[in-house]
A and B are shown apart, each in its own frame.
Chain A
């Protein structure tokens, strides 16, 4: 079955710096990709969903890159601010299959 590896487990950056979180997956049939953000004490909330047909997706203050050849998904926060401090999880699924998650990255953004 699908295996998802997420790195790094912990990441600490200064305000204004960039932060990059990466996931690799094993199932070549994976087609749907997700990034979730979990703030302390809160539920996982969707940050962005990506379909296999799109390699670059931009959100507010971040970019998601999908490299299908290398089976790698990355979340790039371009200029992190303290409000970005949270746990981030990637999730991957093939059609008609439940998403599988990475182990998460705890991001800390210091002023």
Chain B
């Protein structure tokens, strides 16, 4: 099974409230990623886990948290959502880090 699953598919959040997005894969991939995708923009890498090591991009370091309780699951956590967080959030996995990525269908987050 080469499927990456994301939950929920759609999320509505209020400004200032927390948001938690979930991703799972059963391919035993060692690396899992989160990208933020806005219309007409490139998927922007937010962070990735290599095994249990979290790597966060410098410009989004303060805005996003993540956890990976086991090899299959990875979450993306926003402590206080702002309007600018409205976007599609894409989860992907690969093994090794520079190999082909398998993408989930995305979670569309709308912040009101």
Residues of A near any B CB (own CB < 8 A): 4, 6, 9, 31-32, 34, 36, 42-46, 49, 89, 91, 93-104
Judged by a CB distance under 8 angstroms, whether B62 is at the interface is no
Interface SS, B side: loop
| Count of B interface residues, CB-CB < 8 Å | 22
Residues of B near any A CB (own CB < 8 A): 4, 31, 33, 35, 40-43, 45, 48, 55, 90, 92, 97-101, 103-106
Total residue contacts A-B, CB cutoff 8 A: 56
Q: Which 3 A-B pairs have the closest CB atoms?
A: A103-B42, A44-B103, A43-B103
Q: Contact between B98 and A89 (Cβ–Cβ < 8 Å)?
A: no
A residues within 8 A CB of B92? 44
Q: Contact between A43 and B42 (Cβ–Cβ < 8 Å)?
A: no
CB contact between A98 and one of B4, B45, B100, B104 (< 8 Å): that residue: B45
Nearest A residue (CB) for B35: A101
B83 to chain A, nearest CB (A): 22
Nearest A residue (CB) for B55: A98
* Cα–Cα, bound, A66→B45 (Å): 23
> With contacts A98-B48, A102-B42, A103-B40 known, is A46 near B100, CB below 8 A?
yes
Q: Contact between B98 and A96 (Cβ–Cβ < 8 Å)?
A: yes
Q: Contact between A100 and B45 (Cβ–Cβ < 8 Å)?
A: yes
Q: Contact between A9 and B40 (Cβ–Cβ < 8 Å)?
A: yes
